[in-house]
A and B are shown apart, each in its own frame.
Chain A
Amino acid sequence: MNISPDSIVILTIGPFTLNGTIFFTWIVMALITGVSWMITRKLSVEPDISRWQNLLESIVSILRNQIRDITRQDPDHYLEFVGTLFLFISISNLMAFIPGYQPPTGSIYTTAGLALSVFFAVPYFGIRKRGLTDYLKHYIKPVIFMLPFNIIGELSRTLAMAVRLFGNIMSGTMIVAILLSIAPLFVPIVMELLGLLIGQIQAYIFAVLATVYIASATRAYQSKENNVEEE
């Protein structure tokens, strides 16, 4: 039993090895994109919509509302980024009940990749919204003495994001693996259910944290509440 999908080798072409992480990521990507494409092929503006369209609209409107609540800005600027993060992590974790499937979020490379994406997305959105100098100024606030700590904070929260998601999902897989050897009947299924729940919670946490970081970067320091939100 592999704890991480990294160690699963699907295909080897020359020096390149297609491991399970990338393979399952592709599967998830193909699934999400394919379903989205299928549904959004024929959308209806009229109130009598298909139930699939209704599902997607519900998801999108929930995402928008969440983003609006956190950022107190127009959610459509961040919808794609945050929405993609959430959907990818959520679907990856949700498919964990399929035998033979290993969630790609259980790989440190996937979570690190996502965390790095957030790490770069924060200044991207911040500079786009506030301009370069204005954005950079927030590193020396409230005093210039805080500059190194701000930078450390930025880096450490990215690391924390990556490790949090990785640890939770990997531990879920690992617990199931351990329990299988101790009590192979029924108990792993309960833990699997718990793992699904944790997977959804982690998807939510990851997306919300990304939103909060982006919000704090894009919002001027209007109140102390914003600083508190920044962990």
Chain B
Amino acid sequence: MNIDWITLAAQIINFLILLALLKKFLFDRIVKVMDEREQRIADRLQEARSKKDEADKELQQYQQKNEDFEQKRRVLMEEAKNESEQQKKELIQEARNEVDSMRSIWHRSIENEKESFLKDLRRRSGEEVYSVARRVLKDLSDKRIEEQIISIFADRLKNLGSDEKKELNEMIQKSNNDVGITTSFEVNNDLQKKIDSAIKEHISDEAKVEYRTSEKLICGIEMRVDGKKVAWNIDSYLDALEASFQNLISKEVKKTETNKKKEKSA
């Protein structure tokens, strides 16, 4: 058999040419495009996955935030509750304190009223008694009342205990024999002599008596020697009167208070 080497070689060459052509125009291009597309799809998938991860993460964050928020809200609510409870207690306490203070103020004002009433009463009664006494004394011829006062004073000096007399004597000597007599009226010479003699007789011979008048005494006489005094006056009687008045008033006030308390508790 005659072998056609040319055709054989031509066919091999043809095949190699076709191989090169297809490599250039078909396989390389198609494979490249396919790989590119695959890469793109993979990229997109990767992107989607990463986005999903991100979204998941974000979701988790939001959930966490929500939980935190809820927690915070609960804590705040609790705090607010406690605070309001506390405030309520404080307000009640404050109201109580206020009531207490108001009550004490009220007490004090009652006390003040009582005191001022007593003062007023004392002053008035003093004035009244004074004016009455004055009128009475005026009406009952001056001289005799004054004399009477002085004689009562002399009697008092006379009736002092020996110890007291001694003490007075010593005091007079200490104060350079100065003895002050204060009266509510002018003492005439006869009465002065009478007083002098009474002092000299019962207390000290060497006493030098000085006379003064004072409206304060209302009606009476007072001897002062270095802080010690021997006296007779209406003022002392008035003091006693005032004391008894005060006693009476305070009793009244107590009564009203207890009545009020009873009313409150009722």
Residues of A that sit less than 8 Å from B by CB: 6, 16, 19, 21-22, 25-26, 29, 32-33, 36-37, 40, 43-47, 53, 56-57, 60-61, 64, 76, 79-81, 83-84, 87-88, 104, 107, 109-110, 112-114, 116-117
Contacts and interface: CB of A to CB of B under 8 A. Distances in A.
A73 to B, nearest CB: 15
Nearest to B40: A45
B37 A37 contact: no
Contact of B8 (A44, A57, A84, A109): A109
A36 B33 CA distance: 14
Chain B, interface residues (CB within 8 Å), range? 20 to 34
Interface string B194-217: 000000000000000000000000
Query: Which of B18, B26, B40 has the most C-beta atoms of chain A within 10 angstroms of its own C-beta?
Result: B26
A40 B18 contact: no
A47 to B, nearest CB: 7
Contacts, number: 103
Contact of B14 (A26, A40, A57, A60): A26
Contacts of B23: 80, 84
A37 B30 contact: no
A19 B4 CA distance: 11
B16 interface: yes
A115 B21 CA distance: 20
Contacts of B19: 80-81, 84
Given A88-B15, A117-B15, A19 B21 contact: no
A22 B11 contact: yes
B22 A110 contact: no
Contact of B36 (A29, A45, A79, A84): A45
Contacts of A33: 18, 21-22, 25
Contact of A112 (B8, B22, B33): B8
Given A36-B25, A79-B27, A116-B12, A107 B7 contact: yes
A114 B12 CA distance: 7
A26 B21 CA distance: 12
A140 to B, nearest CB: 29
Nearest to A76: B31
